[in-house]
Structure 1
């Protein structure tokens, strides 16, 4: 699928109201001063998830990712959300990490997020959020769009005079630094599958806890694998913030999919990575 960004956007990715808004944006372009508000993740009112269902494995055996060519990015700034204890580090994979955005081609300025996708350091491990397009899974749990979207969290972008994504301000479309703008993940299609797992310098599969998730466009289905155990799933988690901490601990991977053909989205994946 090799289409230009403009044709792809006009075809499916942006609703009509957004297209009309882009047209109305001025061709004038100014430099945007980034927001200076501190990057502090607020604890939102969350819903306690009911117990997940044990289910048949979507994969044949224990599938591990190949990490030989993956990056080990360090954050450009210390996370104000992280909480370290003797047991490990708890933090949010919120798609806002500057170094994680830096290593994505074009910093995902046009929201298209290609390989290596999003890699966020938590404690002494790296959380990789990628499309699940690898071997070893039932085909119903894989997709091959080769990208997902890191949408802008606080605005719908417009097109600057130079043809790049910018931030609307009145009748102008302002230039932005894409690594400084908060993001959220949206899929290309409801049939896309997203995989979340943890790795480090010596291991392609670290054990971690999935404590919560914010579903921004749902519902989603969420599957996870227990360390040394079987697979469990929530068939439908609706829009909102979910507390999953009673169930999805000591896991090795997460698979997230849609419940229909409509794109789905999520943010603020709360994880705990033990020291080991």
Structure 2
């Protein structure tokens, strides 16, 4: 997240309870849920260049075509997944860079991408990571490939919110999150009163069950201030009010 939000979060902890305390009751599980695994075909196909080189750039429309955000004629998004079955207005989950780096990574998990370098399909959206196909490195169907989220650096905040207009975020809560090989800290902003709460350290290589109130935003980054390199999130599940 950006500097302003980071200061707000730290101030909220100092003003309320000791850092690391889980400051929420355990609400009942909502009936409407969505699994976000970072490999939704429509979400990836709706990003500039399909995140073909793993970079997630803000995307928008201009003249009916997907373009980088700076060329867009209206609003922009990064990874925005439509959640079938969630009620209208609460069925788009957004996963964005919250630190101003301009991107994070949706890395390929298939080992066939290792060692193949890059390939350019000549569609004007630049090169992407090549894949071993039939014994040779070739052009994969990038939006159809399994992914995992990896930060740009350890202290990068990733922001999650629900809806189509961040000025009016829709209530949701994250019920589970699968953390990769580096512990993370996770914050959420309760939508009823704007108060921030924190899980100080969610262990690596673990599927965590979370208990949080309905929120406007969730942020996470590496748990340790001394951590080096990217952290990994494999997936998470969210609930929305029924």
Determine if contact 2:162/2:216 at 8 Å carries over to the other structure: yes
- Whether 1:126 aligns to 2:92 is yes
- Tell me the alpha carbon deviations over residues 207-238 of structure 1, each in whole angstroms, 9 at most, x when there is no partner: 11210011123111111122224211112112
Shift in CA distance, 161/243, structure 1 to aligned 2, threshold 3 Å: closer
For normalisation by structure 2, the TM-score amounts to: 0.68
**Residues 52-201 of structure 1 correspond to what in structure 2 (within 5 A)?**
56-57=11-12, 88-115=31-58, 116-122=77-83, 123=86, 124=88, 125-132=91-98, 143-155=99-111, 156-157=113-114, 158-159=116-117, 162=120, 164-169=128-133, 172-200=136-164
Q: Distance in 1 between matches of 2:184 and 2:149?
A: 13
Structure 2 unaligned residues grouped into runs of 5+ = 1-8, 14-29, 59-76, 121-126
Determine if contact 1:207/1:252 at 8 Å carries over to the other structure: yes
Shift in CA distance, 173/203, structure 1 to aligned 2, threshold 3 Å: same
Q: Distance in 2 between matches of 1:202 and 1:56?
A: 23
Determine if contact 1:212/1:244 at 8 Å carries over to the other structure: yes
Q: Distance in 1 between matches of 2:202 and 2:215?
A: 19
Runs ≥4 in structure 1, deviation > 6 angstroms? none
**Residues 191-270 of structure 1 correspond to what in structure 2 (within 5 A)?**
191-200=155-164, 204-229=168-193, 230-245=195-210, 247-258=211-222, 259=224, 260-270=227-237
Q: Distance in 2 between matches of 1:166 and 1:103?
A: 20
Query: How much has 1:272 moved relative to structure 2?
Result: 0.8
**Residues 10-21 of structure 1 correspond to what in structure 2 (within 5 A)?**
none
- Tell me the alpha carbon deviations over residues 142-181 of structure 1, each in whole angstroms, 9 at most, x when there is no partner: x221011000122244225656412225852132010100
Q: Distance in 1 between matches of 2:56 and 2:39?
A: 13
Determine if contact 2:119/2:130 at 8 Å carries over to the other structure: no
Secondary structure, counterpart of 2:105 in structure 1? strand
For normalisation by structure 1, the TM-score amounts to: 0.60
Determine if contact 1:110/1:165 at 8 Å carries over to the other structure: yes
Secondary structure, counterpart of 2:42 in structure 1? helix
Q: Distance in 1 between matches of 2:217 and 2:55?
A: 24
Q: Distance in 2 between matches of 1:95 and 1:176?
A: 17
Q: Distance in 2 between matches of 1:232 and 1:175?
A: 44
Q: Distance in 1 between matches of 2:166 and 2:53?
A: 34
